[in-house]
Homo-oligomer: A and B are copies of this chain.
Amino acid sequence: MLQNIKILALQGKWLGSAAKTLERYKTEALANKGKFDLLVLPELCHTPYFPFEENDAHFDYAITKDSPIVEEWKNLAKFLKCVLVFPFFEKRAKGIYHNSAFVFERDGSIAGFYRKSHIPDDPCFYEKYYFMPGDTGFKVIPTSAGNLGVLICWDQWFPEAARILALQGADILIYPTAIGWDANEPKKIYARQLDSWVVAMRGHATANRLFVLAVNRVGKENNLSFWGNSFICAPDGFIIKQQSAEREEMIVSIDLNEIEQNRRIWLHFRDRRVDQYYDILNMWIDNGK
């Protein structure tokens, strides 16, 4: 397996149609052919952020696992000779939908598949209406560009998901994302919210001593301004590279050997007290019992 991984993260924007939006990602990827081993697209890369409202017409955006779009990007992974994280709105069966992601290997085969497990519901983010909570569980995806722990957006706030993937040997946690500000929120809270989002994921890096990559959406859609600021951090939480709030691509090179080096100094895993962790399986604990 490669130890030096070059990653192309395409912080993206909805361009009015699936065709135009995907064409731009494709153009950017092709322009960088040969310069990266791993390509990551943002959450729901072929749709607008339709959960801003509850409208059953939006289920039409969903595609099946064997749809022509999926097939095209699988072939593109092969053409680009890269591992590809392709997040999409999945129609699984009649009236059954998920927020999912494929991981394709550079030979065009399917390396893995994940369905978003933690589903948010907030004003302008009505995801519980659209997505059945994922049933894939958290399974590391071994690829030629590292052992990938693919999670999606809201999953990023849950240390359990990060830990379980780390325990399986994940090298990089990858969070395709669509997070932004609702225009009804006071602007003064923006900076703290953004930092809180970054810190939550940097925290997963420090606790698990692995790389963390978030690839967000940008642009204004309805009442939402997606905040970009995609970033990758090292196993000690240090931000290697972070983007602005504009549409842009990020190419970054990481050395997976840093994980071993870092864990030799910070031997957290050695000292876990799994005999004391059973209570974590509760939704809540009343009166300390």
Contact = CB atoms under 8 A, between A and B. Distances in A.
Interface of A: 117-122, 133, 137-140, 142, 154, 157-164, 167-169, 192-193, 195-197, 199-200, 202-204, 206-207, 236-238, 265-269, 271-274, 276-285, 288
Contact of A138 (B133, B160, B279): B279
Contact of A236 (B140, B142, B196, B269): B196
Contacts of A169: 285, 288
Given A120-B271, A164-B279, A279-B167, A196 B206 contact: yes
A278 B274 CA distance: 11
A207 B203 contact: yes
A184 to B, nearest CB: 12
A276 B138 contact: yes
Contact of A158 (B199, B207, B283): B207
A267 B207 CA distance: 22
A167 B286 CA distance: 8
A212 to B, nearest CB: 11
B117 A273 contact: yes
A29 to B, nearest CB: 28
A204 B157 CA distance: 10
CB-based closest 3 A-B pairs: A203-B203, A159-B159, A200-B206
Contacts of A236: 192-193, 196
A121 B270 CA distance: 10
A157 B279 contact: no
A153 B66 CA distance: 50
A272 B274 CA distance: 19
A278 B161 CA distance: 11
A196 B280 contact: no
A119 B271 contact: yes
A210 to B, nearest CB: 13
Contacts of A272: 118, 158, 160, 283
